[in-house]
């Protein structure tokens, strides 16, 4: 603005609304949880998860809603490679921590968690590792 083209300056601005531990700043979304599942090499995540579900005596992923609780508010999903995946011990008859994580992942898309949507287990959804951020600290609620 007003200077010769030879005296151009550029500056890269980087910021995020996602809450980062130890960093100050203005409005940040709160990190609610970080989740992921680990499957044996070569295993089909969908088939393995359904086997665990059936061994727990449940017929469908929707049945899990009666036995476990999940966050009730919609949240933003961000891919994460920094988490330690939840390992599954196949010796357990009822592995509800594993199934609860699978339920939450089944309620996530690539960018959004919605507890009102149907539970959809796909290879992609069950192998996601995500951080969930609450929108409550950013958007006003009435």
Model pTM? 0.74
Q: Decide if pLDDT at 134 tops 90.
A: no
Helix, strand or coil, per DSSP, at residue 63: helix
Q: Decide if pLDDT at 92 tops 70.
A: no
Alpha-carbon distance of 38 to 61, in angstroms, equals 18
């Amino acid at each position: 603005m007003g200077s010769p083209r030879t005296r151009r300056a550029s500056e890269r601005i980087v910021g995020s609304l996602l809450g980062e531990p130890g960093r100050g700043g203005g409005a940040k979304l709160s990190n609610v949880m970080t989740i992921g599942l680990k499957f044996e090499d070569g295993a089909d995540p969908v088939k393995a998860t359904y086997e665990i579900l059936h061994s727990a005596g449940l017929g469908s992923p929707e049945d899990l809603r009666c036995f476990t609780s999940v966050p009730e508010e919609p949240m933003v999903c961000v891919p994460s490679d920094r988490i330690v995946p939840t390992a599954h011990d196949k010796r357990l008859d009822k592995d509800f921590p594993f199934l609860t994580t699978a339920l939450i992942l089944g309620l996530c898309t690539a960018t959004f968690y919605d507890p009102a949507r149907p539970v959809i287990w796909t290879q992609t959804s069950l192998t996601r590792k995500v951080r969930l951020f609450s929108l409550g600290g950013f958007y006003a609620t009435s």
